């Protein structure tokens, strides 16, 4: 028996490869299919099933492409409705995989079709559960994403309670829990950095599983939920209806464009110039009106939160060698319309004598000396801001930045910071593109500022 977790940090997402006796299954695959196909080919195995725990909202799954390339059967839980061929498992249905059995346990609550897959080993022992977004390490899935008709988030939270207590908690304590996400995902609020655990530990330490009553559970699970990212609904739709083949998306986006061709393509298509270099490199020089979302951070979720239209044409500026990775990461969250990338990176733009822009950055120490000479803008989440912030700072959370653009004059000096520097450069690039020219990015964010004499509350 082979069980392998394939964890993708920028999405905080876990996919799973299971194999027995030359037969393999993949659970909740990412959109690029090559890693799963390569594993099966290396082991001389055939991918028989692609199990989906639910209609994912935070990424586009690879189920459709993987099934087409391997002949595997796509399996969803009861009540799922798709526009492509798939098998809708009945609650308790058993799927044979070599000497293993995989049992579909319908566990609605996060979504109505949510299903947990119980793996039974060759000796008939319950070995592991693949819980999707039903049960995380330290948390459970948020129940506010699949509200339909007369259903409320309280109704779904109640369903989740029943699912956990009827289907999962009765299982043995040594059963291993393999969730779809870990810390950093917006699909929960209290997820651990650990990506697997025993069910027994979760029964003891997971706040949601320790709730004594359904009412207590509902209150605990709904308390403190943040607004879901705008792209979630569109990704869920793509996972339900299907999407363009990943190979076609990659071929279109992986087109090298000279500075002249890049400029012409942007003007012709109205493409957004997305610069994915590290924040310090971007600050020193970039194409005017470019938006910076660095590949080194939570790239895909921030793209999804800040670019509202999945069909938006995107022209990429990357570090040399990262072009293909940028196209791939965009496709993971449904942004399939990359039109190409700047050949040779930003230096080729400079060498061509094209117009460039820059953003001033200062250390926290230099900011302390300049403090009081402008408006301090903190782009962290409201809950982060509430814990501690620079005295008299304004809170313009990055995901709602556009709602605050009228709160300052474009000529006023803005000192922008976040927790460590990633989000502040994203915000600075957006503000710069909106006509705010008097900007200063504070390097190191609040973590560095707290070590200076700048007063905080």
Is the pTM higher than 0.85? The answer reads yes
DSSP code at position 72: P
Under 8 Å CB-to-CB from 301, ≥6 apart: which residues?
Answer: 10, 11, 58, 186, 229, 333
pLDDT at 417: 98
Put residue 345 in one of left, alpha, beta given phi > 0 → left and psi -120 to 50 → alpha.
Answer: left
Nearest residue to 425 via CA among 299, 271, 263, 253: 299
Token readout for 435 is 């006509």
Is the CB of residue 452 less than 8 Å from the CB of residue 446?
A: no
Query: Which residues in 214-345 belong to E strands, given as ranges?
Result: 256-257, 272-275, 291-292, 314-317, 338-342
Cα 216 to Cα 158: distance, rounded to the nearest angstrom = 10
Q: In what order do the strands lie in the sheet with 291-292?
A: 256-257, 338-342, 314-317, 272-275, 291-292
User: Which residues does 419 contact at the CB level (< 8 Å), separation at least 6?
Assistant: 380, 384, 445, 446, 447
The tokens for 379 are 């782009």
Given a contact cutoff of 8 angstroms between Cβ atoms, the answer to whether 26 and 196 are in contact is no
The pair of three-digit structure tokens given for residue 90, joined into one six-digit string: 């009945």
Q: Where are the beta strands (DSSP E) in 137-179?
A: 176-179
CA distance 425 to 444: 11
Whether the CB-CB separation of 416 and 432 falls below 8 Å is answered with no
What pLDDT does residue 226 have? Answer: 82
CA angle, residues 379, 382, 383, in degrees to nearest 5:
125
DSSP state letter for 75: E
Rounded to an integer, what is the distance from CA 138 to the centroid of its chain?
Answer: 18
Between β-strands 2-8 and 13-20, what pairing exists: parallel, antiparallel or unpaired?
antiparallel
In degrees and rounded to multiples of 5, residue 378 shows phi and psi of -100, 120
The pLDDT assigned to 381 comes to 94
- pLDDT of 433 reads 96
What CA–CA distance (Å, rounded) separates 427 from 401?
Answer: 7
Q: Rg for the chain (alpha carbons), in Å? A: 24
CA-nearest of 263, 262, 246 to 341 is 262
CA atoms of 347 and 358, how far apart (whole Å): 14
Chunked in runs of 10, what are the mean pLDDT values of the chain (457 residues)? 94 96 98 96 97 96 97 97 96 98 98 97 98 97 86 95 98 98 88 95 96 95 87 94 96 97 97 97 97 93 92 97 96 96 98 97 96 95 95 95 92 95 96 95 96 95
* 376: β partners: 415
Q: Which H or E run includes 350? A: helix 346-351
CB atoms within 10 A of CB 441: 25
Please tell me the distance from the alpha carbon of residue 377 to that of residue 417, in angstroms, as a whole number: 6
Q: DSSP for 236-259, please give it.
A: HHHHHH----HHHHHHHH--EE-H
pLDDT for the residue numbered 113 = 96
> What is the C-alpha separation between 3 and 18, in angstroms, rounded?
5
| Residue partners of 131: CB distance under 8 A and separation at least 6 | 53, 107, 116, 168, 177, 178, 179, 180
3-class SS at 401? helix
Query: What pLDDT score does 298 carry?
Result: 87
Distance CA 157, CA 221 (A): 7
Q: Could you give the angle at the alpha carbon of 301 between the alpha carbons of 254 and 363, nearest 5°?
A: 95
Phi first, then psi, for residue 292 (nearest 5°) are -100, 115
What confidence score (pLDDT) does residue 303 get?
Answer: 95
């Amino acid at each position: 028996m082979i069980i392998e977790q394939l964890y993708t940090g920028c999405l905080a997402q876990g996919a799973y490869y299971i194999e027995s006796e030359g037969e393999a299954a993949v659970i909740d695959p990412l959109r690029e299919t090559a890693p799963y196909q390569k594993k099966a080919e290396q082991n001389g195995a055939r991918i028989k099933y692609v199990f989906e725990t639910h209609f994912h909202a935070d990424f586009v799954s690879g189920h459709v492409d993987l099934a087409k390339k391997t002949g595997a059967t796509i399996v969803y839980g009861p009540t799922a409705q798709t526009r492509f061929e798939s098998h809708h498992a009945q609650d308790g249905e058993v799927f044979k995989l070599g000497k293993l059995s995989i049992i579909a346990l319908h566990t609605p609550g996060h979504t109505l079709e949510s299903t947990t897959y119980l793996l039974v080993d060759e000796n008939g022992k319950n070995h592991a559960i693949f819980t999707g977004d039903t049960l995380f390490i330290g948390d459970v899935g948020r129940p506010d994403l699949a509200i339909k008709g007369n259903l409320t988030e309280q109704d779904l939270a109640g369903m989740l309670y029943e699912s956990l207590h009827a289907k999962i908690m009765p299982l043995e304590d040594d059963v291993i829990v393999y969730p779809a996400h870990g810390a950093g995902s917006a699909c929960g609020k209290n997820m651990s950095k650990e990506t697997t655990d025993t069910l027994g530990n979760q029964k003891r330490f997971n706040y949601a599983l320790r709730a004594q009553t359904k009412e207590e559970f509902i209150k605990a699970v709904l308390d403190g939920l943040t607004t879901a990212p705008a792209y979630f609904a569109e990704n869920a739709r793509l996972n339900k209806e299907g999407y363009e083949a990943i190979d076609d998306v990659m071929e279109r986006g992986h087109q090298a464009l000279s500075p002249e061709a890049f400029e012409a393509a942007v003007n012709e298509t109205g493409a957004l110039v997305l610069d994915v270099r590290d924040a310090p490199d971007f600050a020193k020089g970039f194409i005017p009106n470019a938006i910076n979302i660095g590949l080194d951070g939570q790239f895909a979720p921030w793209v999804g939160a800040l670019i509202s239209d999945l069909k938006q044409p995107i022209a990429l500026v990357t570090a040399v060698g990262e072009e293909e990775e940028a196209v791939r990461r965009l496709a993971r969250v449904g942004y399939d319309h990359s039109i190409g990338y700047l050949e040779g990176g930003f230096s080729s733009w400079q060498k061509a004598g094209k117009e460039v822009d820059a953003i001033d950055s200062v250390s926290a120490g230099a900011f302390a000396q300049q403090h009081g000479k402008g408006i301090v803008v903190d782009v962290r989440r409201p809950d982060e801001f509430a814990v501690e912030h620079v005295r008299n700072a304004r809170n313009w959370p990055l995901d709602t930045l556009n709602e605050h653009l009228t709160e300052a004059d474009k000529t006023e000096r803005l000192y922008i910071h976040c927790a460590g520097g990633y989000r502040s450069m994203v915000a600075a690039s957006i503000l710069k593109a909106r006509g705010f020219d008097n900007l200063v990015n504070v390097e190191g964010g609040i973590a560095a500022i707290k070590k200076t004499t700048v007063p905080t509350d």
